[in-house]
Amino acid sequence: MKTIWTFGLFFILLLVHINSSKITNRQPPPPSVLLYSDSLTQALNELYSKGYINGFAVTLVNGSGPLYLKGFGYMDVAAKKPYTDSTIQNIASISKTFIGISLMKAQELGKLKLDDPVNSYLPFKVINPYFPEKEITIRHLATHTSTITDTKYYDKKSYVLKDDIPADKLKDLNETFNSPSSKTTLLEFMPLVLDTKGKYYKKKGFLRELPGTKFDYSNIAATLAALVLEQATGVPFDAFTVNYILNPLKMDDSGWYYDQIDLAMHSKLYSDKETELPFYELITYPDGGMRTTAKDMGKYLSELIKAKAGKGTLLNPDSYKEYFKEQLNESHFEERDSVFPYNDEYNMGIFMGHSGNGAIGHTGGDPGVSSLMFFDPITGIGRFLMINTSLNSQEGANEFFGIMNALGEYSAKLNQ
């Protein structure tokens, strides 16, 4: 899901530490790199001490693997359980980048084409009521130009509690969480919102724009893309990503549902420094429900960096070229920020954002969650950050972006 308004290990995890008993010809990292690693840890500890975030983890990577990886603070404040590089939590809208790779893989497998109409695969019809003659395509969904827009029904119905919780324990929370009994499948939920006969259907769920002509960030459209993939391949979206992304990259601690991960390693989430949120899920889980670790996301980010350089392993080079290609132009935007370095909506690949400064990646935010993932295609260095506390103040946002900036400051120093 979308947020933030468009916004060490004490030693670096180098390959010398992997299978070290078998590798004898590698040189230890230069002393300067170890010093930089310690300096970065000190800088991040200073930022953490500002006190607006309960726990977070970061990783700095290149195409070969991690340059820096560490957690800070607590995954469970009451129990004083440290937040580590193996702590699990949801990463919100960065999850959408997994939809993009999945679509490209499905196209490679001959199951769909990006320019196919979505209605070629759905058992219900999705039509912009203002332009009923214009087909909405998979590419439109993947570039946020479908004209499908999020409504209050999306915000109010998507979040579902993991367990039943008495209403009096929820009344002081700003978020709307629904009973576990309201959990349903993508195929059952999406027609409720997008089919003209659906219980939550509203014409205002579509822009008065021709599909394909205007950018409008849409969580519900992203979820629809995942449903189209399910219908086209005959494989549930979560299983498809396990088969074609998580397993190949050995992202062994990642998954979409609580029963796919080690719940004991899952961070508590907080709406502020003091208020713990209940565990929740998303009916529209493909748009924001990936649960993972900084260590696993480092593997994913390294794959993206390699892929942009033509050396990826999940997709063939042509598919990755399309995945990263800037799909839009100036006419698609009413306005856009070319200055803010973590704006992932300056242009779009296939669910992959581009900032005005040339960085590639995505942002994310949900109750108790904010995340950032970007890499520089020129230097081949990427940064990832996830936190377990909602950002409710400018000071909190400053701490959050300060962490990301510190990673950027040390990226070249650690990439030796």
Examine the pLDDT at 185 and tell me if it is beyond 60.
Answer: yes
Bridge partners of residue 57, in order along the sequence: 71, 386
Examine the pLDDT at 5 and tell me if it is beyond 70.
Answer: no
Examine the pLDDT at 15 and tell me if it is beyond 50.
Answer: no
Instruction: Convert the pLDDT of each residue in 293-316 to its tens digit.
Output: 999 999 999 999 999 999 999 999
**Where is average pLDDT lowest: 23-37, 57-71, 197-211, 255-269?**
23-37
Confidence bin at 156 (pLDDT 50/70/90): confident
Higher pLDDT, 38 or 152: 38
125-133 long-range Cβ contacts below 8 angstroms, 24+ apart: 125/195, 125/196, 126/194, 126/195, 126/224, 127/196, 128/206, 128/207, 128/210, 128/211, 129/196, 129/203, 129/206, 130/203, 130/206, 130/207, 130/208, 130/209, 131/209, 131/210, 131/211
Confidence bin at 1 (pLDDT 50/70/90): low
In the chain, what are the domain boundaries?
15-414
pLDDT of 167: 80
Instruction: Convert the pLDDT of each residue in 68-115 to its tens digit.
Output: 999 999 999 999 999 999 999 999 999 999 999 999 999 999 999 999
Instruction: Convert the pLDDT of each residue in 50-61 to its tens digit.
Output: 999 999 999 999
pLDDT of 166: 86
pLDDT of 29: 63
Round to whole Å and give the CA distance between 38 and 9. Answer: 9
Predicted TM-score of the model (pTM): 0.92
What average pLDDT does this structure show over 126-131? 98
Q: Are 9 and 70 in contact (CB under 8 A)?
A: yes
DSSP state string for 367-416 = TTEEEEEEEETTTTEEEEEEESB---SHHHHHHHHHHHHHHHHHHHHH--
Examine the pLDDT at 19 and tell me if it is beyond 90.
Answer: no
Superfamily of domain covering 15-414: DD-peptidase/beta-lactamase superfamily (3.40.710.10)
**Where is average pLDDT lowest: 15-19, 184-188, 246-250?**
15-19
**Where is average pLDDT lowest: 11-20, 276-285, 330-339, 340-349?**
11-20
pLDDT of 28: 62
pLDDT of 373: 98
